[in-house]
Amino acid sequence: MKNIILFLILNSSCVLFAQPELKIKSASIKFSIKNAGLKVDGKFTGFEAQINFNTQDVTNSKIEAKIDVNTLNTDINARDKHLKKEEYFDIEKYPKITFVSTEFTQTKADLYQVTCELSIKNVKKKIQFPFTYVNKTFKGNFAINRRDFGVGGNSWIMSDKVLVDFEVIIE
């Protein structure tokens, strides 16, 4: 009988503290890079994620996201096709970019820090960056080195630094 009561107490406390998965209303994943001295902007529209984020206890939050690289769009079809080839994103072998959080901290009201594992072309790197969460909206930006992920080869006319901006609105 004690075991049954203990099981019921533990089970009900898990339900009370469980974080519901948040549903995405919209997402904007944009990037920019300099190529031959000119700024090139693009975006990915294929974004899906499992988000469990609790502002009351961020340490137990978790985000796992995937970006469909085939949805890459720079507004120039020929460039998009080129970027999907082996030298760049190699979408035949690596159709997804993944992001898996490993740690969250709150630094100020509405300002958080996430540490995550970013995987591009099956190369995984730990990155860390700040973001805000206000009115059901996650917003942030970070920079990565494209060469760290084997994107773009040794091009000397293309910058190594890629800036990424994101906004994810939940329901």
pLDDT value at residue 19: 58
- Which pLDDT belongs to residue 156? 86
List the one residue out of 22, 16, 98 whose CA is nearest residue 53.
Answer: 22
pTM: 0.85
Q: Percent of the chain at pLDDT above 90?
A: 85
pLDDT-derived band at 133 (thresholds 50, 70, 90) equals very high
Q: What is the pLDDT of residues 67-91, one digit of tens each?
A: 999 999 999 999 999 999 999 999 9
- CATH no., domain 20-170: 2.40.128.110
Give exposure, 45-59, as e/b (b: 16+ Cβ within 10 Å).
ebbebebebbeeebe
**Cα–Cα distance for residue pair 101/78, rounded to 1 Å:** 34
Please check the confidence at residue 16 and state whether its pLDDT lies above 50.
no
Which pLDDT tens digit goes with each residue over 31-67?
A: 999 999 999 999 999 999 999 999 999 999 999 999 9
pLDDT value, residue 15:
39
Q: What percent of the chain has pLDDT over 70?
A: 88
pLDDT band at 21 (very low <50, low <70, confident <90, very high): confident
Instruction: Show me where the domains of the chain are located.
Output: 20-170
Q: Which residue has the higher pLDDT, 33 or 1?
A: 33
Q: How confident is the model at residue 5 (pLDDT cuts 50, 70, 90)?
A: very low
Identify any residues that bridge with 76 across adjacent strands, giving them in sequence order: none
Mean pLDDT (the chain) is: 90
